[in-house]
Structure 1
Amino acid sequence: MPVPVLISRTWPLLALAGLVSLAPEAHAQRVSARDKVKVDTLQQRMTAAEKRYSDAVLLVANADPKGRNEADAALEDMEDVISECVKQKGCQMSNMLATYKRLLKHDADAAADDDVADEAGDRLEADPDHVGPLAADVPEAARAAALLNDKRHAFDNMVEYNPAVQAGIRRWLTDMRPALMTTYENYQNLRAVMWPEWEKRGLPEALLFGIMAKESNGRVHASSRAGAAGLMQFMPATGRRFGLGPDGTGFDTRFDARSAAEASATYLNERMRELNNNVELSLAGYNGGEGRAARVYKQYPGQSFWVDSVYNQFPGETKDYVPMVIAASWIFLHPQQYGVEFPKINAQPATIRLARSTTIYELTICLGSHGTRDGYMRALRNLNPRYEADGWIPAGTLINATNRIAGLYARNCVSGPRADLARTLITADLNAAIVRPSAASYTGSVAVGGVVPVVDPNAASSVPTTPAAPVAAPRPAPAPRAKPARSYKVGKGETLGRIAAKFQCDVPVLARANGLKAPGYSLRHGQVLKLQGCDK
């Protein structure tokens, strides 16, 4: 992100830099021990000023009004240091100006247009964020680690780029483009906890992104009718093999991003080892069953996934899955080639100590949507999978966030009008809007008591008048019988929050009635719930 505060202070620093040509060459002079100490002190001050400026840039990115003032103050510190360096014997101005040059380059890089195709029309370079050292400490991933070099796009040589993959790219760039962009944004918020697990196992980041795009769109709480769950969609039995599942607190670790990344990388390396590092067959095993992939590989050793005798051994879902994963991975590495501009996400990890009890729903409202199209609910849920969106989180709890979210929380959610509005909205009760008139305000006609005969004035006086019989008081209506609590059988993948929304239940009442403990409210498939506190 370009920072305008730097530009405003460019000329003073450049003017100081001009003094270098007038000053004697410092390094040509003999420097005493005392002067050396003073030079070291100036260098430390310049380093501290650079750190102060970097911190200010984060504040600006998080919409913190203190950021601009801090950046200006940091640049003033640099001016003072450079001014003193000119006068200080032994101080090398080139060293001091190197810091300033780095800041200028940082701003220029952030503002530059990166949509530049290479002149030869070859495949474009990946975003620098994709480049990183890879550890080849897992033997079965040796080929992948040796081939993987995002600068040369060697991942392209690990898979076949054929019409099936091209058709997948076409789908991701048309009807499924919103899902692709959503996946990228979700992945960037989770990258700090997921990518290291793949990196140290020597697997390509692009493949991690491709699998996540096809499996869950980067939604931590995704689940399927078949029982698969989490970002990487582990079935219960497979998850247990790799350490995923209920952890004894009511939470299923298949929903934990770091655990899912570690397990999926280990699982994929296991497939790669069995299938001669064939990426397509390994993906087919990931989706269509490892047993089937192993049998096909043994039956047709050395054959590509795309050979008809191999390809037709897999179900239609797997035939679709493999090219779609590769297609998403390919776009991840070649966004510019396909006119894709992925959003720039400020996702540096941070934590928030809650100043007061809250819910993810409430945080979503008070944080707003600064810097993102859809707000921060998905990022908060993904980073804190143990909490239901409507479950209350106690004050003092440490939750996961990003630097931007932390800045917006301090600004909008601790106190003030936005925080008050969010609390009002989150505690609004639909039933309070329903008007129920009291008996005193009712103006309709009401019949009271029995019927009294009327004496006919023309009747003979000898006919006695029959007195009205006393009117018995009406019997009180019987008290209505309490309705027995209804029950509901939990379906696959259902959560307490979804069930509460379906039947208009109060979540804490429903949880207490069924002995469920916060914050996980763990449910089992087939479990029968008492629908207490429900209006529907």
Structure 2
Amino acid sequence: MILPIRISIVAALAVAAGCAGTSPRSGSSVPGKVNETGVDALYARLEADGRRYEAGLAAARDGETERARTETLAALDDLRAASALCSRTPGCERDRFDSTFDRLLRLHVDGLVDAEPIADGGSVGDAPGEPVPGPGESSPVVAALPELERSITLLKGRELAEVIAVNSTVKAAIEQWLTQYRPNLVAAYVNYQYMRYRMWPEYHKAGLPEAVLFGIMAKESGGKVHAVSRSGASGPLQFMYATGLRFGMTTVDGFDQRFDPGLSARANAAYINEQLAALNNNLELVLAAYNGGEGRMRRLAGGSPSASFWDPKLYATLPVETRDYVPMVLAAAWLFLHPDRYNLEFPRIDGRPGEIVLKHPASINELTVCLGQSGGAPEGWFRTLRNLNPRFDPQQRQPPGTRLEVPVQLEAVYAASCETGPWRTLAGELRDAAVPARAVAAAARETARATARTQQRNYTVRKGDTLAAIARRTGCGTPGDIARANGIRPPHYAIRAGQTLQLPGCSSR
């Protein structure tokens, strides 16, 4: 029987821990004249250590446990030392080390399990350089799920902690989310929690991790269902129209289904699974395809099982937007799973679905006013009501009997504040207060039309003309209008050639 061992993610990435966060996103770690001899020697060590690590895994499969442990740990120790030296060597590219770490982590080592901690104090599942979680530390979403439902953290049977390499580029993205984009991240989390019952089941059925869904949504739209980009990508997951059609989203009764959170999540899950199959289950490459086009990624990496998004040769060919997009999605997904490690607190949201049936005509705007901030919404309910009812114009009153999806806590609030009482009256008054503005605009348009009608233009009578013929030819009023405007008397309504008539009901031309 093979004695099981484990090479954990922290072991493979511990090489980066000593100098993580000190190097730039790409290029040389240290400015100055390139030390070509030193750099070449480090790259040679990098390749040799990679081969040695793979040889150790092969030995483990063959049952040579001691040799496997010796080879893999020796390779990792030397990678650690070489990576640290690279960070001090002018001209040495740390991204090459990141690429090698990523490639080694993607080697599927089925059945290799080790309960022993790695020498640097990490434990199975930790990320390099990350604080070790305390008891019970986890995403509020993960903590709320029963054990059997925790496919939230799995991608094709592998923990996301083993898939997402928290390298310097992803760490830089984490910093962005935790600084200037922290409000955006928290708002995206709140928006998602109220839509979760519509979106998460589609990912769950597709066998995909919820954290990835959240990461994509946070970066794409922030959880705003009606978001539309300058390029025309629409919905919470920002599908282009043609791609939406390809995955079953069309326009029905004037409603663009890309704005439906459940349908967009279903389409997104189908797209991700399609691209995982084409790109060797490599999450970074799939995200790059989602942003930059699957055709480009298949040409660059589809035929290479060992292709890595972090490989400088591939990375450098991608648009800047895609280089930024992938780590931002990964960082949001990572923070979704591990907020407590980063002094991040997501609010607790009661996202259970509910429903209200309108007792009186009301618009989403009116409901937002009468619901106020009751039920735990410091910023009000407008965004949530819009997200859950994307087919409705928020200013358009819906008739009695219309069913609206709402968070369950709003069922009682609607009955208390929106069916009767002062807040319903206020909401109606505020809506009516907007009517004069619309009425003024309508009146202005009517005035312009009336002015045009009362404006007159001259017409010179030609031989054979009659008032009826003139009215018909010019479209300016009736024969009676022309007669009255020019003092022409019945019963003969006599006119003569060369006579100038004023034609009412015509704009000047």
Per the TM superposition, whether the score is higher than 0.5 is: yes
Offset, 1:298: 3.6
Change beyond 3 A, Cα 1:162–1:432: closer
Which of 173, 177, 190 is the equivalent residue of 1:172? Answer: 177
Match of 2:371 in 1: 367
Answer yes or no: is 1:412 the counterpart of 2:417: yes
- Pairing 1:223-372 to 2, within 5 Å after superposition: 223-247=228-252, 249-298=253-302, 300-370=304-374, 371-372=376-377
8 Å contact from structure 2 (residues 153, 209) kept in 1: no
Offset, 1:384: 0.2
Whole-Å separation in 1 of the counterparts to 2:221 and 2:437: 38
Task: Give the secondary-structure state (helix, strand or coil) at the position aligned to 1:481.
Answer: helix
Whole-Å separation in 1 of the counterparts to 2:434 and 2:187: 32
- Pairing 1:466-485 to 2, within 5 Å after superposition: 480-482=451-453
What amino acid maps onto 1:201 in structure 2? A
Whole-Å separation in 2 of the counterparts to 1:483 and 1:302: 78
Match of 1:146 in 2: 157
1:289-313 Cα distance to aligned partner (Å, 9 max, x none): 0000111114654121001111112
8 Å contact from structure 1 (residues 190, 257) kept in 2: yes
8 Å contact from structure 2 (residues 140, 348) kept in 1: no
What amino acid maps onto 1:391 in structure 2? Q
Answer yes or no: is 1:122 the counterpart of 2:125: no
8 Å contact from structure 2 (residues 154, 208) kept in 1: no
What amino acid maps onto 2:132 in structure 1? D
8 Å contact from structure 2 (residues 236, 264) kept in 1: yes
Offset, 1:402: 1.1
Offset, 1:431: 3.9
Offset, 1:160: 1.1
Task: Give the secondary-structure state (helix, strand or coil) at the position aligned to 1:373.
Answer: coil
8 Å contact from structure 1 (residues 214, 325) kept in 2: yes
Answer yes or no: is 1:393 the counterpart of 2:398: yes
Residue identity (%): 46
TM-score (norm 1): 0.55
1:484-525 Cα distance to aligned partner (Å, 9 max, x none): 9xxxxxxxxxxxxxxxxxxxxxxxxxxxxxxxxxxxxxxxxx
1:445-472 Cα distance to aligned partner (Å, 9 max, x none): xxxxxxxxxxxxxxxxxxxxxxxxxxxx
Whole-Å separation in 1 of the counterparts to 2:454 and 2:434: 23
Change beyond 3 A, Cα 1:134–1:295: farther
Task: Give the secondary-structure state (helix, strand or coil) at the position aligned to 2:155.
Answer: helix
Change beyond 3 A, Cα 1:392–1:143: closer
Match of 2:66 in 1: none
8 Å contact from structure 2 (residues 154, 160) kept in 1: no
- Pairing 1:510-521 to 2, within 5 Å after superposition: none
8 Å contact from structure 1 (residues 135, 199) kept in 2: no
Whole-Å separation in 2 of the counterparts to 1:235 and 1:241: 10
What amino acid maps onto 1:122 in structure 2? V
What amino acid maps onto 1:129 in structure 2? V
8 Å contact from structure 2 (residues 292, 322) kept in 1: yes
Which of 193, 215, 229 is the equivalent residue of 1:210? Answer: 215
1:193-241 Cα distance to aligned partner (Å, 9 max, x none): 1101101211111110000000000000001111110011000111001
Task: Give the secondary-structure state (helix, strand or coil) at the position aligned to 1:427.
Answer: helix
Change beyond 3 A, Cα 1:304–1:413: same
Whole-Å separation in 1 of the counterparts to 2:454 and 2:325: 50
Match of 1:383 in 2: 388
Aligned residues: 311
What amino acid maps onto 2:452 in structure 1? R
Whole-Å separation in 1 of the counterparts to 2:454 and 2:361: 34
8 Å contact from structure 1 (residues 206, 332) kept in 2: yes
Whole-Å separation in 2 of the counterparts to 1:143 and 1:311: 26
TM-score (norm 2): 0.58
Whole-Å separation in 2 of the counterparts to 1:127 and 1:412: 34
Match of 1:439 in 2: none
8 Å contact from structure 2 (residues 215, 332) kept in 1: yes
- Pairing 1:20-31 to 2, within 5 Å after superposition: none
Task: Give the secondary-structure state (helix, strand or coil) at the position aligned to 2:405.
Answer: strand
Task: Give the secondary-structure state (helix, strand or coil) at the position aligned to 2:409.
Answer: helix
Task: Give the secondary-structure state (helix, strand or coil) at the position aligned to 1:414.
Answer: coil
Task: Give the secondary-structure state (helix, strand or coil) at the position aligned to 2:351.
Answer: coil
What amino acid maps onto 1:361 in structure 2? N
1:266-323 Cα distance to aligned partner (Å, 9 max, x none): 1000000111110000000011000001111146541210011111121111001000
Change beyond 3 A, Cα 1:195–1:432: closer
Whole-Å separation in 2 of the counterparts to 1:432 and 1:250: 27
Unaligned runs of 5+ in 1: 1-119, 148-153, 436-478, 485-536
Whole-Å separation in 2 of the counterparts to 1:210 and 1:483: 62
Match of 1:159 in 2: 164
What amino acid maps onto 2:428 in structure 1? R
Whole-Å separation in 1 of the counterparts to 2:323 and 2:358: 47
8 Å contact from structure 1 (residues 380, 400) kept in 2: yes
Whole-Å separation in 2 of the counterparts to 1:241 and 1:388: 27
8 Å contact from structure 1 (residues 206, 329) kept in 2: yes
1:156-213 Cα distance to aligned partner (Å, 9 max, x none): 1111111111111111111111110110000000001110110121111111000000
Offset, 1:433: 12
Whole-Å separation in 1 of the counterparts to 2:207 and 2:435: 53
8 Å contact from structure 1 (residues 222, 230) kept in 2: yes
- Pairing 1:182-201 to 2, within 5 Å after superposition: 182-201=187-206
